[in-house]
Structure 1
Amino acid sequence: MWKALSDRNWALLKTHLSDECIYLDMPVGPAAAAKGPEDIVKRLKIGLEPLASYENFPGLLVANGNDAMYEHHEQWHWATGESAVLQFVTVHRVENGKVTLWKDYWDMGALANHAPPDWMDNFASADMSWVFDATGLL
């Protein structure tokens, strides 16, 4: 799954997610989650598709039954020359070989401090049909 994400291979990424998978960025919170492979990919594309390059670097993976924590980092590069290294801890729940829960913990300030000035404008004009309120479900 992580290789597919790093390659921005959206079709392959979807095959790793259950139909009921919930994805959320913890800095934003559960009211702006995405649910299901199609909407999760819509959400991920907002941040990752406009990048000139993107790469996920592996780190420590700890698992306990169906639950896993993955410490990793990503490098983001914009066509305008800006770049950022983002540190992540991701929590997954995996059932029957598919991710059913995906929570990303990261520092939004680290991204905002290195992104181009118009970075937030991409979110303001993006398709937000993916928004799922997961409040109380996690």
Structure 2
Amino acid sequence: MTVVPAPADTVLGLWRALSDRDWDAVAPFLADGCIYLDVPFGPALAARGPADIVARLKVGLEELSSYRNHDGLIVADGDDVTYEHSETWTWTTGEVAELPFVTVHRVRDGQITLWKDYWDSTTLMNNAPPSWMDDLLSADTSWVYDATGQI
């Protein structure tokens, strides 16, 4: 018999793997049809499925010299988990951004089926190096999924 972890444990496991930028460990937490959305950018720039979500995450996080997630309040209501936390982004050029987040996850059968990040994009843009936005604009966007009307 397989023991399915509590939804909050699944979410915390995902964030531990993400904080380590262990992409191989992130993917199994995500259901095949999982939708990931950075709320400030809207549903037309979502990602869907483990491979595309990991590709999306790598766009922002892979080139950082350091990335850390800092635990905060986690509240579970059945399959829905709300996680208040923060992240520290450090670029190779020395800039540092401290980003407060609220993340909403839906978890079914031990995997995340919906992941929405709520954060202030101005905080990130005001602390990122000037070249960072150019790097984002030239990044691979094959992961883009239009989730309009689905979340």
**In percent, how many aligned pairs have the same letter?**
62
1:29: how far off?
0.4
1:125: how far off?
1.0
Q: Paired residue for 1:127?
A: 140
Structure 1 gaps, min length 5 = none
1:49: how far off?
0.4
Q: Is 1:90–2:100 an aligned residue pair?
A: no
SS of residue matched to 1:8: coil
Q: Paired residue for 2:51?
A: 38
Q: Is 1:6–2:22 an aligned residue pair?
A: no
Q: Which amino acid aligns with 1:97?
A: G
Q: Which amino acid aligns with 2:41?
A: V
Q: Please show how residues 77-116 of structure 1 align to structure 2 within 5 Å.
A: 77-116=90-129
SS of residue matched to 1:27: helix
Partners of 2:135 and 2:99 lie apart in 1 by 19
Q: Which amino acid aligns with 1:130?
A: W
Q: How many residues end up aligned between the 2 structures?
A: 138
Of 101, 114, 118, the residue aligned with 2:131 is 118
1:124: how far off?
1.1
Q: Paired residue for 1:137?
A: 150
Partners of 1:44 and 1:65 lie apart in 2 by 26
Q: Paired residue for 1:71?
A: 84
Partners of 1:24 and 1:136 lie apart in 2 by 13
Structure 2 gaps, min length 5 = 1-13
TM superposition score normalised by structure 2: 0.91
Partners of 2:45 and 2:128 lie apart in 1 by 21
SS of residue matched to 1:90: strand
Q: 1:94-133: CA deviations, max 9, x gaps?
A: 0000000000000000000000001111111111000000
1:69: how far off?
0.3
SS of residue matched to 2:135: helix
Partners of 1:122 and 1:48 lie apart in 2 by 12
Over aligned residue pairs, what C-alpha RMSD do you find?
0.4
